[in-house]
Structure 1
Amino acid sequence: MAYVPGLEHDLFVSYAHADDVAWVRALEEGLRERVRQRLGLDVSIWQDTRSLRFGQSWPDEIAHALTRTAALVAVLTPSYSTSVWCKRERDQFLEQFPGGQGLNVGSIHRLLKIIKTPWDNNEHLRFFESLQHIDFYRKSDRAAIELWPGTDEFRLKVAEAAESIAALLRAMRRQREKVYVASPATDCFEHWEALQAELRTQGFDAQPEGPRDSAFADQLMREEMRGAMLSVHLLGAEFDAFAAHQINLAAELGIPLLFWAAKEARTQADERQQKLLAALAQGRGPDGAELPAGFQNLDGNPRSMIQEVLAALKPRPREEPPAATGSPRVYLLCDPTSARDAAFARTLRSGIIEQEKAIEVDLPEDDAASATAARQRHGELLRACDGLLLYREAAPAEWFLSQLPSLLYGERLLRRPPMRSKAVLVDDPTQLAGQPETITVIPRTPNFSVHDLEPFLAPLRANPRPHALA
């Protein structure tokens, strides 16, 4: 899969087959590794693994690859200058850009010249003379000496080329990443403008181009939403029917949803807005339909909201859920930012493992790179666990209430099989007044021990099986 969305390959390396293929392969592998280090994700480099270039006709596979690649890397040698195949590859790539339109991404060109061997009289400098190039040779008094793989000089030049390529691919990815920022009620309009401006500054395709209201047809808004990698909805204290309608439209299209509730929404929301916020917390849209899996609820100040949206858009390698071992797995959910709760949770984890032997226990991350990364890991642990134990003593009441939907509706929100056991461990059970009576509540008494968790642990021992995702 290519790093740049919508393409099949990130790089196509064009070279004369009369040249040293081993040198070209070393260049490709060096670029692959260095660009991956710069971007944090693998890149796709098209390779002629079936010796297509040695045929007599122009293979469709090569033509297709050239029209589905982000950048062409031309390895210039005297043989390249006379190669009919190299010219065909170059022409096929460039014909996508009539008049050169789209060939530049900002200040970066999508054709990069690697000078392996200079041409006579430095004529290679007159080949696409306006384009950047990187010399993979050094000059001596009598000749140009090529840089060979494995040398420090070669590695430095690979790093230089990788820097340019990574910048190009990053810019192209941003251009193709659409983010829909739904038009909010008037009390959030200033935050909407700030988020739109920051997304565009960062190079994202922020839609819509202007505020929308009920005068705009649903079909128009669906077209603006279609293909978005994220739909962001800003919610204040004021209920707005059109803002709610946009949530329904984005959910119908299956777009990942991110909701941000301003501080006023938590403390001053009108009755209808309170109902909307409650529904979203339970994974249901304004129309009562289930939201697409993976939605996120944010709070915090407007500046942190913008940073969290950017973090949610940042590409990251896919993290695997905990490996299935055949042992039941417990997710001991606490607030990792509360030192007292986190310390007790670590002690409790050790106690459960020591007593039960066959039960594994996971804790939330306390060193996640961002709140978005922490939420993603939280979702992975919810999907993988057989039992969920929610613990609170010193954590803020707001944190505790924000986690209850995971306990009450986690299976439905994540579309996963039912958990085998769920419980709440609290020092004061009265804080659960008004919650469904189906919740198993275990008081943390002054003489608390792991044996007090028997109502929670017993179902996990019965009929042992691999955890939820095994």
Structure 2
Amino acid sequence: MKFARQIFISYAHLDNQPLSADQMGWVSLFHSTLQTLLSQRLGAPADIWRDDKLHGNDDFSDEILDQLAGTAVFVSILTPRYLKSDWCKKEIRSFCQRAEADNSLVVDNKARVIKVLKLPVEAGDALPPVLGRLLGYDFYEIDDEHVPHELDPAYGDKPRQAFLRKTNKLAWDLAAQLTELQRRPQVAENAANDPGPGPRPTVYLAECSRDRREARDAIASELACCGFTVLPDERLPDDEDDYLATVGRLLERCALSVHLVGSGYGRVPDGDRQQSVVVLQNELAAAHSRQHGLRRVIWLPAGVASPQPAQQAFIDALQTDAALQFGADLVSGDLETVKSAVHAALKPPEPAPPPPAPADGARVHLVCDAADRKAVVPLIKLLRARGLEVSLPAFVGDAAQVRETNRQLALDCDAILLYYGAGDEAWKFHQQNDLRKLLGSARERPLKANLTLLAAPPSDDKAVLQALADPDLLDGLERIDDTTLSPLLAALGAKEPT
């Protein structure tokens, strides 16, 4: 797509008045900083236009209309004054109407309108509907007294650094969008002639509490720079039911979800559950991991705590509840550590090395908890004495590669034996659930047995299973010998011990 101009900045002139006579106005500083950063990211001077005239009662000028007609991306700096300015509202409505007329307001799921929030505002019906769906870029922070402050270098070094980080994030996003808009016809032509390897995976970067937003922005910027699509890319609903449905649809598009857990509880959608978006998204992502194999990364920095009882309860549960952690790498290091974990999870898994050929053609995959590795040694020796090959799960390494290795081991065996020892009931449930889904996959080797072996230590849950005596259950709580394993050995036609 061809445009005469790359960026149009729409703003209220009142918002560009400096706080003191020796300072640059906020909009001028924003324009200048964005100009430099965007030019560096594009590798060529960025073409950014804003009207620096004071309009008074002037008519909506032809010059403005001409600039809007040939603009690729419209950047609106929203403030209370902006919403009261008829001139500003004419600018954004005119741009959206023209873009909608040729079906180009949203291109490749990216709106050509950027919402910069200099101060928190509720636009309501004052602006085109597309603005309400956008996440926007918050150029303000709220202090301990709940008073918003612009990210303005005039307030000190910390706001200055935050201003630069936020402008840098916007510059990266704009560079990617402008590049795609310029390449779009060529990309479509190339895709028709050569589909290529396909796009990079999409990442769900979960909404977080205020104390993790800076880290979220950093991760989002890095992923965008590497060519990954990051969701959500629009504002999520405030209604709980709508929120759950929307997040569920977004997760279906993603190969990875990333959850940043901090001391804040996060916003609470309006609904019966009254749970924060942090809790709700983790729950939905865990369910998608169980059902569809969604990979996950959870960042829970070491020592994080919350003064809010609900958030502290979630932090405590997240460290102990296997259901909340399901499918996730729980990362406790710094921001660079979690970035590394995210990139590792996005690497395509390397093919698992083929298991060694069994001596007598029968192979048992022994599924156990990592804490049982020493306890299963006598069992492995017993099975090997009967001419059987035995494989154990992979426990250490890159999460995606470990998952793929274990999947391949389970598919390439003749029998699966779930060793129910150190693992608890939740562990057993998740293992059986994963195996059940896996066994629905195509197999080159028919599965001859799928059994669970009760092993020490005893527990109430194991006692119940012992009493039920299901046919696929082997009772090894007192001892594990040929008699205990006879159903497995018979199914595999194992030889007599030598």
Do they fold alike, i.e. is TM over 0.5? no
**TM category, shorter:** 0.3 to 0.5
TM-score with structure 2 setting the length? 0.41
Higher relative contact order (CA 8 A, sep 6+): 1
